[in-house]
Amino acid sequence: MSFASETLTGDKPAQYVQLASQAAALLDGEHDRTANAANLAALVYHALPHVNWVGFYFHDGHELVVGPFQGRPACVRIGLDTGVCGAAARSRETQRVADVHRFPGHIACDAATRSELVVPLVDDGGLVGVFDLDSPILDRFDEQDQIGLERIAQVFVDSLNWIRRD
């Protein structure tokens, strides 16, 4: 499955490397969490084919609260004990779900969603939130997608610690 962006070339892993570079360039010099999450959600949503939701949930100390995203309006608060997002936040491990209908407790924000990938965002041992991608295609995300999107999520976490040098 190739990327929608015409500026990316090569096989899928190579395209993810380029997308991560674009993400790093986009966030360079800015550490505002909302600004960087908004731009990253837009970049990834428009680069990847067959995704219907790309965005962030942030941990407020108790639960996950929706942040910047692209896609249909989503549920606002998710407990750490529910859904794919809660599982990623709780376990701090990426959740790659081939068929959300088979995931106990999946929260259906958009009825069209069939598969999902959620990457936990951990900064210096602290839970920041999760980066969530939904697809209307069954089994949309493979291991290459997981590796590529974990790399992009790390670009976001790294950006939070960007220190103004001037």
Q: Point out which residues bind ligand SME (CB under 6 A).
A: 53, 74-75, 78, 83-86, 106-107, 109, 113, 116, 132, 134
Nearer to ligand SME, 18 or 56 (CB): 56
Closest separation between CB of residue 97 and ligand SME, Å? Answer: 8
How many whole angstroms separate alpha carbon 140 and alpha carbon 162?
A: 33
Nearer to ligand SME, 15 or 109 (CB): 109
The neighbour count for residue 118, using CB atoms within 10 Å, is: 24
The neighbour count for residue 108, using CB atoms within 10 Å, is: 12
Closest separation between CB of residue 158 and ligand SME, Å? Answer: 24
Closest separation between CB of residue 132 and ligand SME, Å? Answer: 5
Nearer to ligand SME, 30 or 150 (CB): 150
CA proximity to 48, closest of 157, 165, 131, 141:
141
Q: What is the number of the residue whose Cβ is closest to ligand SME?
A: 83
Q: Who's near 9: CB < 8 A, 6+ residues apart?
A: 15, 18
Query: Rounded to the nearest 5°, which phi and psi values hold at 93?
Result: -125, 145
Closest separation between CB of residue 95 and ligand SME, Å? Answer: 8
